[in-house]
Homo-oligomer: A and B are copies of this chain.
Amino acid sequence: MTISESKDVIDEIFHPGSIAVIGARSNESLENDGWVSRLIDFGYSGKIFPINPKAGEIMGLKAYPNIKDVPGPVDLAIFNVPFRVSDQVMSDCASKGVKFVHVYTAGFSETGKPEGIRLQNEIERIAREAGIRVIGPNCMGLYYPQGGLTFGRFLSRKPGTVAFVSQSGASASRVVAQGNERGIYFSKVVSYGNAIDLDGTDFVEYLSTDPETRLITSYLEGVKDGRRYLKVLRECTERKPVIALKAGITEGGSRAAASHTAVLAGSEIIWEAFFRQTGVIRVDDLEELLDVAMAFIHLHRPAGRRVGIVGRGGGLGVVATDMCEKAGLKVPPFHPDTQTRLEQRIPDAGTSARNPVEPDKGLAAWAAFYEEGLKAIERDPGIDIILTHLGIDIYGGTGQRLNQSLDETISILLKLSKQLSKPLVIVLYAGGRAETINAVLQAQQKCLEAGIPVYPSVPSAAKALSRFIGYHEFLDRKASYSK
């Protein structure tokens, strides 16, 4: 299998002209979610063939007792059947001449049981002999909003530029759903499970030249061919950034990965070297993956790692500074001119015109401060990035006051963000109160729509910034070596 073949195959899989759902439930409806209803609901424009032994109609579509009964060609078949009949179903697909199969069904080699291993080997053999290309088994398959494909009915129909390649189905669901809430939209997502045929390497390789994808994110437990994965990722990061969570890295985690997707997870030392060599951005959990993605989506590269921090609460400023420096950023003293300019804006006590800056008074007074203060910080030649933490949980108040002062502050930040040439990052820590959380979610929405990245905490912002900058530094180092 040459590289171009695999790429072409995957592009075809994302654009099937017809889809058969084998094992479509006869009681499917929009409320009673299933594979057929999701395709209809998501606006898939190709032909859909529900396959069910009792035939009849499913979601208003004619159902067939067997895929072999379908009139006309089937590009993609989704297996929603008990794993014990998967070999028979794969044989039927071979007879029918199905091109691609997504085996949603689980219960194969990941169980460690002889029956599961035998059946996985069997469907692999049948597919290979028939030339059927397979996603799975034991996976959620495809999410491609542009093409009407989805594995979850509540995911956004809005396409974006981020791809996610996931060995895990739950991770794929969480990343897309959570990403959508944080204003991150996806080009193409695949959950590929046990990967008896197409695996993470194939998908990343395809996405590395996919014009719809600007940023690749990934969850992986293990790879089949480490050497090829290294090569593909090394080339890919030159074209676009790749953010990856390598799971199954501890002793227990590696054992867990074996019983999840039946992989050998590999040692920490090997993976550490992998990340260093490829420039793939490593994250520890799915939230961090989205944090870093957010930086890539909204920010341009800052000139360096020096952060100007602004926020109410002296102690919170000290902790924020520690968090930034622990993450590999710098929080240096301001230039004397900046100091003077800020002191004109923050004349009174209890506050600091030094870095980290603490504006005086509550949220409303911040609004007034931000107008001039952030511009003063931006002019500082020793500052590359501005990070503001609002402390709404403490200073936001309740009821009308909360919404008013938050609205006022956010409006000014939105206005300012258009004027500032250095990256601006906002931390909207919400605390545990329902009212504040809901107000913060709304404020976050406004910022994201205006292209300002919003983080739930200073550590998450600081780590994301550091990794975002780290990718660019990697490219610089690579460029200087090759000179």
Mark A residues whose CB is within 8 Å of B.
82-83, 105-108, 110-111, 116, 138, 154, 166-171, 173-174, 177-178, 181-182, 219, 221, 245, 247-253, 255-257, 259-261, 284-287, 312-319, 321-326, 330-333, 348-352, 354-356, 391, 393-394, 398, 431-434, 437-438, 441, 457, 459
B248 touches A318 (CB 8 A): yes
Q: A174-B316, A312-B170, A315-B166 are in contact. Are A250 and B325 (CB under 8 A)?
A: yes
Report the nearest B residue to A245, measured CB to CB.
B319
Cβ A315 vs Cβ B247 within 8 A: yes
Chain B's closest residue to A319 (CB) is B247
Q: How far is the CB of A380 from chain B (nearest CB, A)?
A: 15
Asked if A177 contacts B322 (CB within 8 A), the reply is no
> B252, A321: Cβ atoms under 8 Å?
yes
Which residue in chain B gives the minimum CB-CB distance to A398?
Answer: B154
Contacts A181-B431, A260-B317, A284-B323 known; list 14 others, CB within 8 Å. A83-B349, A110-B314, A167-B315, A171-B319, A173-B313, A177-B394, A255-B321, A256-B321, A256-B331, A259-B352, A260-B315, A284-B459, A285-B319, A437-B441
Residues of B within 8 A of A348 (CB): 107
How far in angstroms is the closest Cβ of chain B from A338? 14
Q: Which residue of chain B has its CB nearest to the CB of A286?
A: B319
28 A-B residue pairs with Cβ-Cβ distance under 8 Å, sorted by A, are A106-B350, A107-B350, A110-B314, A116-B349, A138-B350, A168-B313, A168-B318, A170-B394, A171-B316, A173-B313, A174-B313, A174-B431, A177-B394, A181-B433, A247-B318, A252-B332, A253-B321, A253-B331, A255-B333, A256-B321, A256-B354, A256-B355, A260-B318, A284-B326, A286-B319, A432-B441, A434-B438, A438-B438
* A322 and chain B: residue at smallest CB distance: B253
Contact A177 B393 (CB under 8 A): yes
- CB neighbours (8 Å) of A325 from chain B are 250-253
What's the least CB distance linking A28 to chain B, in Å? 16
Q: Which residues of B contact A110 (CB under 8 A)?
A: 314, 352
Contact at B285–A323, with CB atoms within 8 Å?
Answer: yes
Q: How far is the CA of A349 from the CA of B219 in the complex (A)?
A: 22
Which residue among A170, A173, A248 has the maximum number of chain B CB atoms within 10 Å of its CB? A170
Residues of B within 8 A of A316 (CB): 168, 170-171, 174
- Chain B residues lying within 8 Å of A251, measured Cβ to Cβ, are 325
Look across to chain B and name the residue whose beta carbon is closest to the beta carbon of A107.
B349
A460–B315 Cα gap in the complex (Å)? Answer: 22
A393 proximity list for chain B (CB < 8 A): 174, 177-178
In the bound complex, CA of A356 to CA of B252 (Å)? 9
Q: Is A349 a contact of B315 with CB atoms below 8 Å?
A: no
* Assembly CA distance A437 to B436 (angstroms): 12
Contact of A394 among B167, B174, B247 (CB under 8 A): B174
- B219–A322 touching, CB < 8 Å: no
Specify which of B116, B330, B349, B437 is in contact with A111 (CB 8 Å cutoff). B349
User: Distance (Å) between the CB of A390 and the closest chain B CB?
Assistant: 12
Closest residue of chain B to A152 (Cβ to Cβ) is B394
In the complex, A171 Cα to B319 Cα: how many Å? 10
B432 touches A261 (CB 8 A): no
Residues of B within 8 A of A438 (CB): 434, 438
Complex: how many Å from CA A441 to CA B168? 27
Other-chain contact of A253, B106, B318, B332 (Cβ < 8 Å): B318
Q: Which chain B residue lies CB-closest to A182?
A: B432
With both beta carbons as reference points, the residue of chain B lying nearest to A171 in the complex is identified as B315
Closest to A82 in B: B349
A184 → chain B, closest Cβ, in Å? Answer: 10
Residue contact B459 to A315, C-beta cutoff 8 Å: no
Chain B residues with CB under 8 A of A182? 432
Asked whether B256 lies within 8 Å of A169 as measured between CB atoms, the reply is no
